[in-house]
Amino acid sequence: MSIRCPICGAETAWTGNPTRPFCSESCQLRDLGNWLTEQYAIPAADTTPPSDGTPVPPDGPEP
């Protein structure tokens, strides 16, 4: 089975590839660098308290 590297798009083998899903250690490190420099981000819930001072529940404000 072959897959495309998510960084460079090169086709690479899935089995026997220690850097999968990447084609190489270089692409693996580029991906790590993207996370460390916050080029990738997972959206978080807004936890800013309302201006009236009421607490916001951990799962977000009521609709």
**How far apart (Å, rounded) are the C-alpha atoms in residues 49 and 63?**
15
**How far apart (Å, rounded) are the C-alpha atoms in residues 23 and 3?**
9
Higher pLDDT, 40 or 62: 40
Q: Is the pTM of this model over 0.85?
A: no
3-state secondary structure of 16: coil
Residue labelled with tokens 């693996």: 28
Q: What residues does 3 pair with on adjacent strands? A: 12
Mean pLDDT for 4-14 is: 95
